[in-house]
């Protein structure tokens, strides 16, 4: 192979991209796999958390056993789960704040507009 063949865009084509039976001997076997994941490509972090929760459930919700099964320290597992809880709490607070802001905007649009006093007019205030 020449250098241009190695760096051409065709050399980076995904093996799942082609669906013809002549391009690969197992193309028919890949069709169900492709349809399984079509449209569902979560980020790595989401996949990692799904796997961790699956292992925790398989270990009877014992985080120490789950950490051993995952090959990580128990404290590392607790840190990962704490980060996930903190992210969920931040998302919840953001949603609540957005809802409050939306209600405030609606209330402000319904409130009567006060006009500023005209220039040159005196503003009377009560004096004690």
pLDDT reading at 107 higher than 70: yes
Q: Give the model confidence (pLDDT) of 87-99 as tens digits.
A: 999 999 999 999 8
Residues with Cβ < 8 Å from 21, sequence gap 6 or more? 27, 28
pTM of the complete model: 0.51
**Are the beta carbons of 84 and 52 closer than 8 angstroms?**
no
Grouping H, G, I as helix, E, B as strand and the rest as coil, residue 16 is: coil
Residue 105 tokens, joined: 């905007």
Q: So where are the chain's domains?
A: 40-107
Cα 41 to chain center, whole Å? 11
Residue carrying the six token digits 């459930």:
57
Q: How far apart are CA 8 and CA 23, in angstroms?
A: 18
């Amino acid at each position: 192979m020449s250098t241009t063949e190695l760096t051409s865009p065709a050399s980076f084509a995904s093996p799942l991209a082609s669906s013809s039976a002549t391009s690969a001997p197992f193309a028919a076997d890949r069709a169900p796999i492709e349809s399984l994941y079509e449209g569902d490509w979560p980020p790595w972090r989401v996949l990692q958390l799904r796997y961790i929760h699956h292992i925790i459930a398989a270990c009877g919700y014992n985080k120490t056993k789950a950490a051993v099964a995952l090959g990580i320290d128990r404290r590392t597992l607790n840190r990962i789960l704490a980060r996930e809880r903190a992210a969920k709490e931040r998302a919840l607070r953001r949603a609540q704040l957005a809802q409050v802001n939306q209600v405030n905007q609606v209330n402000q649009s319904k409130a009567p507009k006060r006009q500023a006093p005209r220039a040159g007019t005196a503003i009377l205030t009560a004096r004690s």
